[in-house]
Amino acid sequence: MGRRALLAAALGAGTAAALGGAAGPAAAADTAAGGGCHGKRRIPPGGIGMHLYTMRRPLATDFAGTLRQLSDIGYATVGVSGRHGHSAREIRGMIDDAGLEAVLEHVGYGTVAGSGLPQAIEDVHTLGGKWVVVPSLPGGMHSPAGFREAARALNEAGRACRDAGLQQVLFHNHGGDHDTVDGEVLFDILVNETDPHLVGFEFDLYWAVRGGADPLTYFRRHPGRFPALHVKDMAPNGDFADVGSGVLDFAEMFQGAKSGGVRQWLVEHDNPSDPFATARNSYEHLEALRY
């Protein structure tokens, strides 16, 4: 049994298509339509970005210099996650100086669902971004009732964001969000019980697969809901890996990118040993990728 088959067996059958194994219904439909995993499409030049959580260690000591190095590698955009003592206006200045564009910022659920949302919206405007992103839900909401409460709150926040001139509020998934609890897939509650015009998803491909989900199937079944991705690869043992060095079949997943509404491919690695090497390796793979 090969490494992908071993990992699929360890993580669950839902990972097979994402690992390049047996194709799910969405992949089968693409094949029938004449698609393939290695075509001529490429990620648009302005679509390859870096989620700055990856770079948190160098950012803590040299925020501006880190941004300049990302720009020199070729990145066009960044997702902000942690300000390291800087204001939104200061970060905007450093991003502009580096020739980058901020597309979103991670903001805690308590802020988005509470009285801090207007300031969060103002800050994303200041950064020049399009989306406020909720990175996770509190552990106490890890139930169908909790996710339904979150769906209601996200709809309200999304309406406020749209009224203020931003795009939808986005939710970022982790592996546990794909758990089945009391017969319901928690993540599906958010997908099915939020307004597509108000709520979308910053879809973390690693965590989706880790949770047993098939990203391509989600792109096909829920058109336009996934404007931003976290492109994060998986090592054969299930750990994090630089994009292109692991076992996830991004070329196959991206077959559904247009249907899914993807506009930003944001690189992420949760624990890189050398953040700049990860940034270079991951950018070079995505820039060369054809699907």
9 band by pLDDT with thresholds 50, 70 and 90? very low
Q: What pLDDT is recorded for position 140?
A: 97
Asked if residue 6 has pLDDT above 50, the reply is no
C-alpha to C-alpha distance for 103 and 115, rounded to whole angstroms: 23
Residue listed under structure tokens 């992908």: 4
pLDDT in tens, 155-208: 999 999 999 999 999 999 999 999 999 999 999 999 999 999 999 999 999 999
C-alpha to C-alpha distance for 93 and 88, rounded to whole angstroms: 9
Q: What is the DSSP string of 27-88?
A: HHHHHHTT--SS-S----GGGEEEEGGGGHHHHHH-HHHHHHHHHHHT--EEEE---TT--H
76 is written with which tokens? Answer: 């066009």
Q: What pLDDT is recorded for position 45?
A: 84
pLDDT in tens, 28-71: 333 333 334 568 999 998 999 999 999 999 999 999 999 999 99
pLDDT in tens, 73-121: 999 999 999 999 999 999 999 999 999 999 999 999 999 999 999 999 9
Q: Quick check: pTM over 0.95?
A: no
Looking at residue 194, the DSSP 8-state letter turns out to be: S
